[in-house]
């Protein structure tokens, strides 16, 4: 892939999708990209699933020690944590004006639909999260042999350039910031079945609400530490909603066989598409950041009609 990408007169941010099929394709396309970065003295981070990391390590040999490998199955369990990881890498290793490279694989076969949806939002937000003048080259591999065709098509809407081992071209379907805004302001998929519900109208209701969430989580057979994490996240999100001026905050819970889902909904609007994806300067400044650290998956959506934060806790 790196051999057919165009040479630029100066370094700047590049966010590209690489479509591959089979191990040979993956290695042939991405290992030269890594080797070239190392040879140029660039910092390189590879965030892929463990199997694919081993493919790259084996082909690189001793040179692999110069690459910062990250297990994407762990990091990307909640996709909202991926952008902060790239930002930390660039802050720690890139330095002022020093070019850096990355391989990021947020989507792989077997991810749940709600995880894929959040990965797609993450990919769209990557186009806003990085300064366009920053010399960072990020390639996102997509397994076109096993991923759904719509997932492949969506990659074209969130990546300005598309590549294979034999081709490189601009994406005709790329939609930039408009696409990220459209996804962030869309409604979350409706959840069916029975649900439990409670409402907080003011800050004095927070203790009662927290107790209610804890009881529902315990009844769902959630692990004790996850009960604490969920309760703290809901308390923080509710307090933040009331602080933003919401007249009331509704909390709903769905007890599914493998996951407990909790919606925190209010009537205010958030216009910061990257909320919860920047490390706060002080603890407690960003309740959505806090929820992202506490929960297995977080989905945030906001529009004129209000804001919904959906928290997932695996059992």
Supply the pLDDT for residue 201. 77
Spell out a b/e string for 202-221, using b for 16 or more CB atoms within 10 Å of the CB, else e.
eeebbeebbebbbebbeebe
Q: In the chain, where does the domain assigned CATH 3.40.50.300 lie?
A: 14-184
Does pLDDT of 86 surpass 50?
A: yes
Minimal CA–CA distance to 44: which of 102, 126, 89, 84? 102
**What radius of gyration, in Å, describes the C-alpha atoms of the chain?**
21
Q: In the chain, where does the domain assigned CATH 3.30.565.10 lie?
A: 196-314
pLDDT digits (tens, 9 = 90+) for 222-280: 999 999 999 999 999 999 999 999 988 999 999 999 999 999 999 999 999 999 999 88
pLDDT digits (tens, 9 = 90+) for 24-81: 999 999 999 999 999 999 999 999 999 999 999 999 999 999 999 999 999 999 999 9
Beta pairing class for 161-163 and 43-48: unpaired
Supply the pLDDT for residue 200. 78
Cα–Cα distances in angstroms (integers) from residue 4 to residues 36, 94, 144, 167, 270, in the given order: 13, 24, 19, 7, 41
CATH hierarchy code of domain 14-184: 3.40.50.300
Minimal CA–CA distance to 15: which of 153, 152, 122, 148? 122
> Residue 309 and residue 188: Cα distance in Å, rounded?
9
Does pLDDT of 103 surpass 80?
A: yes
Name the pLDDT band for 109 (thresholds 50, 70, 90): very high
Supply the pLDDT for residue 247. 86
Query: Is 0.75 surpassed by the pTM of this model?
Result: yes
* CATH match for 196-314 among 3.60.15.10, 3.40.50.300, 3.30.565.10, 3.40.50.2000: 3.30.565.10
């Amino acid at each position: 892939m790196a051999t057919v990408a165009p040479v630029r007169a100066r370094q700047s941010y590049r966010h590209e999708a690489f479509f591959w099929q089979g191990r040979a394709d993956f290695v042939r396309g991405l290992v030269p990209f890594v080797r070239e970065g190392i040879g140029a003295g660039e910092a390189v981070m590879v965030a892929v699933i463990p199997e694919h990391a081993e493919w790259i390590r084996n082909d690189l040999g001793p040179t692999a020690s110069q690459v910062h490998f990250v297990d994407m199955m762990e990091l990307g369990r909640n996709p909202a944590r991926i952008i902060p990881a790239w930002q930390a890498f660039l802050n720690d290793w890139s330095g002022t004006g020093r070019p850096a490279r990355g391989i990021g694989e947020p989507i792989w076969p077997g991810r749940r639909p709600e995880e894929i949806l959040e990965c797609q939002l993450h990919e769209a937000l990557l186009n806003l999260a990085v300064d366009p003048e920053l010399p960072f080259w990020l390639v996102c591999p997509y397994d076109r042999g096993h991923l759904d065709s719509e997932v492949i098509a969506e990659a074209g809407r969130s990546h300005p350039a598309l590549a294979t081992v034999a081709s490189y071209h601009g994406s005709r379907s790329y939609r930039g910031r408009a696409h990220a805004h459209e996804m962030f302001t869309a409604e979350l998929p409706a959840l069916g079945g029975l649900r439990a519900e409670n409402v907080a109208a003011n800050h004095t209701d927070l203790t009662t609400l927290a107790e209610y969430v804890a009881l529902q989580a315990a009844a769902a057979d959630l692990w004790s530490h996850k009960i604490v994490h969920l309760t703290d996240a809901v308390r923080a999100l509710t307090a933040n909603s009331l602080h933003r001026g919401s007249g009331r905050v509704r909390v709903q819970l769905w007890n599914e066989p493998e996951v407990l889902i909790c919606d925190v909904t209010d009537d205010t609007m958030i216009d910061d598409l990257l909320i919860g994806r920047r490390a706060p300067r002080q603890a407690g400044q960003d309740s959505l950041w806090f929820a992202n650290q506490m929960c297995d998956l977080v989905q945030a959506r906001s529009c004129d009609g209000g804001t919904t934060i959906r928290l997932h806790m695996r059992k």
